Structure 1
Amino acid sequence: MHPQPNRRTTHAYGSPKYLLVYDRWGTAGRPVVLLHGLQYDRTMWWPVAADLADACTAIAVDLPGHGDSAPRDDYCTDRLTHDLAMLISRLDLRRAPILVGHGEAARVAERFAEKYATHAVIAVAGARLDEVPEAYRQFAVARPDPELAGAYRQRLPRQTTTPGQVDLGDCFPHLRDPAAFATLLKSVR
């Protein structure tokens, strides 16, 4: 039996001061950009992204100051959405992405959709980790940093409803059942 090739590749984009680190799965199909909530990182999307790879191009980004992405002096939402747009443009995906925002990152996805071509915005909540099966809890490990959280919350726009937004107020649906969540994303028209 031959080992399976690695389906996830890790990349970095930007200058050292504005470095964004992301993982990518798949090379074809509708692009899906996955944004973690505050105090998490891109690894929270690994289970669902692996299920998306057969039909979509999944991109899980570490937001600035999280995971392997560089911290910033200012967490301006306009700068962040611009950096995301440049990263997405650089990937030459050829189709408008679905943006999935977890927790506060849903507001970043909404702001992105106001300025750039977006197929859909999907917002998910994540307050009740006890509903996530034990095997997937390792992907939702919060790394509390009150200063970082405060800096983001100070700069995030208020929650609004964007045309085409689907709000899944469900807690960690992408970790409770990654395959079902991937199927839902694949069906977004």
Structure 2
Amino acid sequence: MHPRPPCRSTHTFTIAGSRVAYDRWSGPGRPVLLLHALLFDRTQWWPLAADLAASCTVVAPDLPGHGESPMWTGCTPEQVAGVLARLVESLGLRRAPVVVGHATSAPLATAFADHFAVHGVVTVDEPVDLAGSGPAAVVAASGVDRVPERFRSFAEPREDPGLVAAYRSWLDRPSTLRPVPHARHPADDLNPPRFTPLSDPESLASRIQYLL
């Protein structure tokens, strides 16, 4: 599995002043929207996307204030979901996406499913409670310490208190069940977070492919 396959291309999407940088792997079939954990960026998905690209179209955006996406005036889960829904629509694939939320992006995956058509939702490493937490706790809750050495360069957090403050509404939300096909296994609740996109990309790819 190679994290930088030739089919990966980088783009920007702008609507109503909100700009998103994103990578796209132009495989066949249904879109899969990969949402990185807060304080990380879209590169955390490169190894997994390389594995998925043969069976779907993979889209991995940088969330507002992360990577190459500038901060927006508003970045509630609902606001970000609205922009990302338009991004997916702009690809012209005419198929509802599978939405994958990692760790602190689980509320975004839920908001997307609540307001827009989805084919399924996958969440992994979702933290139990980060209300009032600072950057170090947010990073630790993702399980980044369990990323294998060969993938460490794809998981370099930005421990910015201002960024955590901007996303406080995400961190203070409780976990909820999803009323859509959902590939979150009960065993996930019994195991500590392990940054699954990089510690076990093959297994996560299988869970996503099950929903395609």
Query: TM-score surpassing 0.5?
Result: yes
Work out the number of aligned pairs and report it: 186
Q: Could you tell which deviates more after superposition, 28-37 or 9-18? A: 9-18
**What's the counterpart of residue 40 of structure 1?**
40
* C-alpha contact (below 8 Å) 2:30/2:56 kept by paired residues: yes
* C-alpha contact (below 8 Å) 2:13/2:21 kept by paired residues: yes
> What is the CA distance between 1:139 and its match in structure 2?
0.9
Whether 2:153 is the aligned partner of 1:130: answer: no
Indicate how the Cα distance of structure 1 residues 187 and 99 shifts in structure 2: closer, same or farther if over 3 A, else same.
same
Cα deviations by residue, 1:63-114 (Å, 9 ceiling, x for unpaired)? 0110001112322222211101110100112211111111121110101101
Aligned ranges 1:68-83 → 2 under 5 Å: 68-83=68-83
* C-alpha contact (below 8 Å) 1:121/1:165 kept by paired residues: yes
Gaps of 5+ in 1: none
Aligned ranges 1:31-180 → 2 under 5 Å: 31-125=31-125, 127-154=142-169, 157-163=173-179, 164-167=181-184, 169=188, 170-180=193-203
Name the CA distance, whole Å, in 1 between partners of 2:21 and 2:40: 14
Name the CA distance, whole Å, in 2 between partners of 1:136 and 1:150: 28
Cα deviations by residue, 1:113-161 (Å, 9 ceiling, x for unpaired)? 0111111111111632232211012111111111111211225644211
Whether 2:44 is the aligned partner of 1:27: answer: no
Of all paired residues, the percent bearing the same amino acid is 42
* C-alpha contact (below 8 Å) 2:15/2:83 kept by paired residues: no
Moved over 6 A (4+): none
Indicate how the Cα distance of structure 1 residues 81 and 132 shifts in structure 2: closer, same or farther if over 3 A, else same.
same
Name the CA distance, whole Å, in 2 between partners of 1:85 and 1:106: 16
* C-alpha contact (below 8 Å) 1:16/1:70 kept by paired residues: no
Gaps of 5+ in 2: 126-140
Alignment TM-score, normalising by the size of structure 2:
0.80
Name the CA distance, whole Å, in 2 between partners of 1:113 and 1:61: 17
Q: Could you tell which deviates more after superposition, 55-64 or 25-34? A: 25-34
Match of 1:22, SS state, is strand
